[in-house]
Amino acid sequence: MAFSGFRDASSGFIAALRKRPRLRRRRARKAAATPAAANTSNGNAATTTIASLAPLVGIISEYLDEQDINHVKNAWRLADEAHLGQFRATGEPYITHPIAVTEICAGWKLDADSLCAALLHDVIEDQDVSKQEIAEQFGTDVAEIVDGVSKLERLEFATKAEQQAESFRKMLLAMARDVRVILIKLADRLHNMRTLGAVGPDKRRRVARETMDIYTPIAHRLGLNAVYRELQDLCFEAMYPNRYHVLNKAMLAARGNRREVLGKISETIMAALPAAGIEAEVSGREKSLFGIYKKMLAQKKSFSEVLDIYGFRVIVHTLSECYLALGTLHQIYRPVPGKFKDYIAIPKLNGYQSLHTTVVGPYGTPVEFQFRTREMDRVAEEGVASHWLYKDDDVTLNDLQKQTHQWLQSLLDIQSQTGDSGEFLEHVKVDLFPDAVYVFTPKGKILSLPRGATPIDFAYAIHTDVGNQAVASRINGDFVPLRTELKSGDAIEIITSPAARPSAKWLNHVRTGRARSEIRHYLRTVKSEESIAFGARLLNQAFDQLGLPHPGDDDPTWSKLAKSSGAESREEILADIGLGKRLAAVVARRFAPDNPIMATTAAAVDEITANRNAPIQIQGNEGQAVQLATCCGPLPGDAIIGGIRFGHGLVVHMEECAQAQRQRAREPERWVPVMWATNTARHFSTRLDITTINERGVLGRLAAEISAADSNIVQLSMQDEAAAAAVLHVTLQVDSRNHLAQVIRAIRHIPQIQKIVRVKG
């Protein structure tokens, strides 16, 4: 072992710790204060409880060698010394907590370094034992894990929520580097939840809510189903104690009432499976209290109306026997239609595999059965911990481990696109939803996505560039909008275009954290670049009107202007101009020889008014910095005017637009003259309302004429006005007002067309 020399020196290191004045003074204070408080609330618990290492040693002796066991004992000695004089809210010596956490980890058969880190997981946070000291004694792996588990209590944050979000981000990123971090943290949270009764009701509810929001879905995502179910029940008890106890009492009563039915089913199955040549282990089980509570809420039923609260688990030797046992069961009891799920052929996101079916048992009672192999059962209960990644460096990763690695890698991808810890946590929470849909790529690969995901999520799951350039999608061969919700079994194809770009509206339709993070990152980056470019155009125009030379990028006035206005750089000033946060004329005057400071609104109005004869040229492809108003839909050729909206840049309206006229009357200083450039972009959207006689073939003739006029139909809907007439709402892509006129002339020749109106709004 690489750190055996450090292990042999453990006694000397601990002796040195005892001599540290800071640690000695802290322990003296704790010894004087904490036991009294503990005895006051918990009798003599603080003095009678003995923290024994024997149970832990008994567990790890089954799979660790003598050298590793001694390594764990050394960690216990350091933890015991560090937590001396410290007590839990229960009144027990604090060392009982790290020992209990380590016993949970040992139950997963984690390696010696993980167990050492579990014993030491609070010494950095609580006792000022440094990360370097742990590394010298137990190695860098243990030190990194302990540091990843530790919270950020010593750093200054504006709010408790910000501190919590940053702590979660640190923990999750440490988990992405080493999954042992989250396994220890889950064990830590599990033991804290088991002993939560010692704290007040408010703290119980707060900790339970935090656990339910973050740690419970992480346990599910990693396949730790036993931990997942226990955490759910413990949170349920802490948040709704009365509901929990009433439901628990009802469960105990129902267990006795249905014992005869369950016993009869068990006997029947135990006799039928051997008769079919299947050796199996059959065990009865009941659903968790929280699972039953959720079903009662979802189905709006009372406890007596929820019948399928009991089930059976059938564990066989081979995969083929799972299906044989299922067939045998269906010969005995009638299956409930729509209640069969094959998670063996298509495993869940967390690697869970099993066959699920619900049958109608004796007296009409529905009973759920699960069929799985022993290996599947181990994965179902222990998840990623069932195939420990660190036992052998040469081990081949199974599908569960690969999926776990992919999800952990996605955390790093989200982190690279996200600067704010709260936003990062928001993205991760989205990805922790356990429900999933399974869809196919064009090459037949199965992809798992959260329920409610859309083709946009699918595109970003394939590659960032595919998502950024997506323009359309096909599901099962049919064109559908990008906002369409995916269903399991769908075959998805994404159509891309190099000229396409993400839209802020996509954020309303995506479910995965990766897609949301990538879209926001693109919009922030592109919006900034476009705003800088547009701001430079506005500022150069202001320089020309004032007769001032254009300053260079290295002009010292830029730094003075940035410092006086609170900006960080020249680019930020230009971006603010492009977004309407600063007025170009005011900034330009700062470069004048007399350098007047015009910071008042009145002065800004004077500058804008003086320059009304210099319209800004609009091309229509400026991106986020210049937007065409949806209230009037201006086209090249229309008379237009521009309003600078704070934070949104320049919004272009038709001059006759009523909404623009109202806004201009309220804030005239924010309106500037604009004109269409000679080289405008192509494909502007506009809408026509077409009244037509409702005859066969009209729609086909209309589409043909629009296509012949070199236009394209983006959207079409129909509204019946009478039996013989209808109104078609058609959204078209045209190049200009003149192009639209050509399209209107083309379709006016159709005999059935009665009226054509351009919709301006």
In this structure, the strands spanning 753-759 and 684-693 are antiparallel
In this structure, the strands spanning 366-373 and 310-316 are parallel
79-89: b (≥16 Cβ within 10 Å) or e: bbbbbbbbbbb
Set 66, 103, 126, 381: catalytic member = 126
DSSP 346: S
How far from 736 is each of 41, 540, 652, 685, CA to CA, in Å?
Answer: 80, 28, 15, 10
Set 68, 80, 122, 125: catalytic member = 125
**Residue 543: is it exposed, middle or buried by C-beta count within 10 angstroms (0-12/13-18/19+)?**
buried
Q: Is 403 left (phi over 0), alpha (psi -120 to 50) or beta?
A: alpha
Give the integer Cα–Cα distance in Å for 713 and 688.
11
Max Cα-Cα span within the chain: 103
DSSP per-residue string spanning 242-256 = HHHHHHHHHHHHHHH
Q: Which two tokens stand for residue 143?
A: 């030190």
* 126 noted as active-site residue: yes
**Residue 71: is it exposed, middle or buried by C-beta count within 10 angstroms (0-12/13-18/19+)?**
buried
In this structure, the strands spanning 470-475 and 492-496 are antiparallel
- For residues 413 and 514, the answer to whether their CB atoms sit within 8 Å is yes
Give the integer Cα–Cα distance in Å for 372 and 686.
58
* 125 noted as active-site residue: yes
Give the integer Cα–Cα distance in Å for 453 and 433.
11
The helix or strand, by DSSP H or E, that contains position 493, with its residue range, turns out to be strand 492-496
Q: Just list the catalytic residues.
A: 125-126
